[in-house]
Structure 1
Amino acid sequence: MQNNILLRGSCFGWLISTSIDGVVQMFNPLTNASYDLPPLSTSPTIVDYHPELKVEEYTIIRFEFDGSTYTTLERRSSIQKIWLIKIVISSSPSEDMMVLAIYGEYKCLAWCKFGDTKWTDFFTSEKFKIVLQDAIFYEGKVYALNCNSQLYKFDVTTSIRVITQVPKPNDPYITVNIRYFVQNIEGDLLMVSRFLNHHEVPGIDDP
């Protein structure tokens, strides 16, 4: 990918990227077909966009611990890196296609359908946000996994429901643990845990 393009997903043969100019695009490298998704500027909690400024183009909403909010200005390079972190699609572009995006500093979940011009927050009715690590379409439902290893199952018309607490590996040396979904060739939904073991090496830090 070019330096000003970030890859945010790969599904059904399509690559999904965000550009420094806020364009969100699906591209099929085999057919050269492309399809534009709603731009970064329409993401939840982005309240204004001024591309003519070329410095701090985005006005975003931030949340305090007491539930209050305030707005700040952000550079487009920062928004490109953190606002749409991962994007998955339910199918190739068609009238039935639905798109999920993990977005923002709090890793919430947004969605759009084929032909939509903006992203919609899944959790507009929730008091607290869910800090997600991954999301996937599976058997007609949406599954999501948060940073505390809680597994969720929901759709756009029903309430969010916690299914189970996924056991964490019992390893005191784990300092980085990233969990994500994969679907194997048998059609089973699996959780993969990728982690970094940090062990002290004698002599490395000795003066």
Structure 2
Amino acid sequence: MKMVDWAELGNDLLAEVALKLDAIEDFVYFSVVCRSWNRASSLVKRNWKSSMPYLLLAENHKENPNFLRQILSINNDRYYQLSLPQTFGTRCYGTSIGWLVSIDLDGQIDLLNPLTKERLPLPPQSTMPNRDLPVDGEEEDAICRRQDSIRKVIVVKDVERGNDGNDLIVFVSHTHWKRLLAFARPGDQTWTTIVPPWPAKETTYDVPFSHRAVDLVIRDNTLLILYEDASIGYLDLSDLSTTTVKAKEFLPSPEELKSRLDTYLLEMYLVESFGSLLMVHRNKSDIWVPDSQVDEDDRYETVGFEVFRFDIEVKKWEQVKELGDVALFVGDNQSISVRASDCRNCKSNCIYFTDDYAEQWDKPAKLGGHDMGIFDLKTGEFQKFYKGGNGNSDVCTPFWFMPQF
């Protein structure tokens, strides 16, 4: 029987095999088998995608001279270590296209690919329009400034531009109590304001609570904006080149959800899920626990989720109890939806969540990172997906990101 020379397989076949590899290390191992396999993998490297997000754990300062950070792959229940000194001491946010967004104590904001270590500078925080400034006689606390600067971020590719850093657009909801919108591209000098759909108030600081932007999603080359009152604004990406970039109103605050919007400690997410538009309500509650540093201190935990699907025919939100073969990933990341059947160890009809309540990460007794888990939408039960260390932090708690080269 003639032996097969695997090195002689055609590039097209090898490339197809490489793209079906789901784990990062499998793709790397594939690329070092021989020259022909390396050549084939290099041709499709930028097109490789994981089927499921990875979890970047909090930084570990103890005996860590190489600035290693762990990432968890739930797909195969493995931990990997990456040397990421650029992320130490920075607040980071995950995206669905491979990049992280980081902001340091000096207000420098960057895009970082944790796999390739490619880094693209964005305009500094000081150029964000209408951001909160210290009043006369007060000093601006760098830590608070950083923690409160960005509340939500998404990174999208502009299909009309080339396939390099210039094709990326970063949208942020910034400044804690205002949650204003702005965008920038790598290489820009300043952030550009996205004007809300409603008439301007007397001052730029007078932002109604209901008009705060809480989440963003891209759908058919259109940016959809979820506001605090559950109204939806939209912005076509082609309008970003206009002199004044202004969002339009797509859906006013829905009457069917108004009673739910008064819930204490409610966090909302907007998710594009295989053609469906979902709004996720995350309900949290204060809990009281003893603490070694204070007599007693309030903490918080997630107590439930509700999911609503938008019915485009009647323009209403309808609550759903069944997501089918879908799992959602929410937290300090661009909200992500995956097919559970495409992933190993992924539970369908569940929501994987991480701690994103940064307002409470202000002292050791309130370190963030404890509020993580899996919520089963059908049974209402919670499970743990992570029980190790490197979870708590007052700077950057664990978050989801979708790895790409």
Flag whether TM exceeds 0.5 (same fold): yes
Equivalences for residues 166-181 of structure 1 within 5 A: 166=254, 167-168=256-257, 174-181=263-270
In the alignment, is the contact (CA less than 8 A) between 1:111 and 1:122 conserved in 2? yes
Query: Measured at CA, do residues 25 and 169 of structure 1 come closer, stay the same or move farther in structure 2, by a change above 3 Å?
Result: same
Which structure has the highest strand share of the two?
A: 1
The alignment's C-alpha RMSD in Å is 3.2
Shift, 1:29, TM fit: 1.6
Query: Measured at CA, do residues 173 and 112 of structure 1 come closer, stay the same or move farther in structure 2, by a change above 3 Å?
Result: closer
**Which has the greater radius of gyration?**
2
2:148 alignment partner AA = I
Unaligned runs of 5+ in 2: 1-57, 60-87, 158-162, 202-206, 288-405
Query: Measured at CA, do residues 77 and 173 of structure 1 come closer, stay the same or move farther in structure 2, by a change above 3 Å?
Result: closer
In the alignment, is the contact (CA less than 8 A) between 1:87 and 1:100 conserved in 2? yes
Query: Measured at CA, do residues 142 and 120 of structure 1 come closer, stay the same or move farther in structure 2, by a change above 3 Å?
Result: same
Q: 2:134 and 2:213 mapped to 1: Cα distance?
A: 19
| 2:156 paired residue among 82, 90, 95 | 90
Query: Measured at CA, do residues 29 and 172 of structure 1 come closer, stay the same or move farther in structure 2, by a change above 3 Å?
Result: closer
Q: 2:184 and 2:155 mapped to 1: Cα distance?
A: 10
Unaligned runs of 5+ in 1: 47-58, 63-69, 200-207
In the alignment, is the contact (CA less than 8 A) between 1:14 and 1:29 conserved in 2? yes
In the alignment, is the contact (CA less than 8 A) between 2:196 and 2:248 conserved in 1? no
Task: Please list every run of at least 4 consecutive aligned residues from structure 1 whose deviation after the TM superposition is greater than 4 angstroms.
Answer: 70-73, 169-173
Could you say which structure has the greater relative contact order, defined with CA pairs below 8 angstroms and 6 or more residues apart? 2
1:85 alignment partner AA = R
The one-character-per-residue Cα deviations of 1:160-205 (angstroms, maximum 9, x if unpaired) are: 3222234427569932221111222x24332111113689xxxxxx
Aligned residue in 1 for 2:235: 154
Aligned residue in 2 for 1:65: none
Query: Measured at CA, do residues 176 and 115 of structure 1 come closer, stay the same or move farther in structure 2, by a change above 3 Å?
Result: same
TM-score, L = length of structure 1: 0.72
Aligned residue in 1 for 2:62: none
The one-character-per-residue Cα deviations of 1:127-168 (angstroms, maximum 9, x if unpaired) are: 144311111222111111111111111243464322223442
2:229 alignment partner AA = N
The one-character-per-residue Cα deviations of 1:71-90 (angstroms, maximum 9, x if unpaired) are: 97522212101112222111
Secondary structure at 1:21's aligned position in 2? coil
Shift, 1:10, TM fit: 2.0
2:120 alignment partner AA = Y
- How many equivalent pairs are there? 179
